Structure formats: structure tokens, C-alpha cells
């Protein structure tokens, strides 16, 4: 009878090993879930900055010169380019339009990501000089 009382006091080595294995699997899954969430937040932050850069570039001009708008640059790890082309429109339209595309690229060296924004902008009106009489 004394023997049975001593056996039921603690866990066996096998039970401890199984418990540690289960705990390590659960902690591994939690670590991956938290790490994935942090990575996703960083990616969304970069994407938001790319959108802001693209929208800011479009807001710099209300109209496009007749020769078009082609420009590129870099800002805090983001590369951007603006390209425009005349937009074919229906006959009888009074305003000439340009299709403007802004591309923003960024990456951490392993994978490059990009964002494109397309808009229509009117062509700048040609100013005529003063007439002499």
C-alpha cells in the first residue's frame, strides 16, 4: 500500500516530455502568427506610403503640357515615375485629355513591389501672346 501512494505523487518522465512537446508546438504556432501579423502591418504601411506618394505626384499638376509629362525620381526608398500620353476621346470634345500613369516601386531587396495610379488630366491651354495693332 505504501508503494501506490508514492507512485501517484508526480508526473512520469514520459508525461513531462509529452507536455513539453505540446507546449513547444503551441508556442511555435503563436510565434508564427504574431510574426506574420507584424510583417503584414509593415507591408501595409509601405503600401500606404506608396499610395500617398502617387496621389501627391498627381496633385502637383492640374493640367499636362502639350508635349506630355514624363518624370521620375526617388524618395525615402521609393522610386517613382510619371508618364503621360494623349488620350483618345470622342469627336466633338472641347478639351484635350492626357492619360497620366504614376508608378511607385519599393522593396527590401528580396522582393520588389509596385503600385500604379492612372488618371486623366486636361491638357494645358495654349496662351496666345498679345496682339499688336
CA triple 124-69-63, angle to 5 deg: 25
What would the pLDDT profile of 49-108 be if each residue is shown by its tens digit? 999 999 999 999 888 998 889 999 998 889 999 999 998 877 767 788 899 999 999 987
| pTM confidence score | 0.64
Answer yes or no: are the C-beta atoms of 114 and 102 closer than 8 Å. no
Amino acid at each position: 500500500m505504501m508503494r501506490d501512494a508514492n507512485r501517484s505523487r508526480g508526473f512520469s518522465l514520459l508525461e513531462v516530455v509529452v507536455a513539453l512537446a505540446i507546449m513547444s508546438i503551441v508556442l511555435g504556432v503563436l510565434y508564427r502568427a504574431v510574426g506574420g501579423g507584424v510583417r503584414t502591418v509593415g507591408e501595409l504601411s509601405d503600401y500606404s506610403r506608396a499610395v500617398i506618394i502617387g496621389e501627391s505626384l498627381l496633385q502637383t499638376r492640374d493640367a499636362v503640357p502639350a508635349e506630355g509629362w514624363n518624370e521620375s525620381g526617388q524618395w525615402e526608398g521609393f522610386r517613382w515615375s510619371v508618364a503621360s500620353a494623349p488620350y483618345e476621346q470622342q469627336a466633338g470634345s472641347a478639351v484635350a485629355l492626357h492619360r497620366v500613369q504614376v508608378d511607385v516601386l519599393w522593396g527590401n531587396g528580396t522582393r520588389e513591389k509596385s503600385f500604379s495610379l492612372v488618371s486623366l488630366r486636361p491638357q494645358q491651354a495654349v496662351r496666345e501672346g498679345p496682339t499688336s495693332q
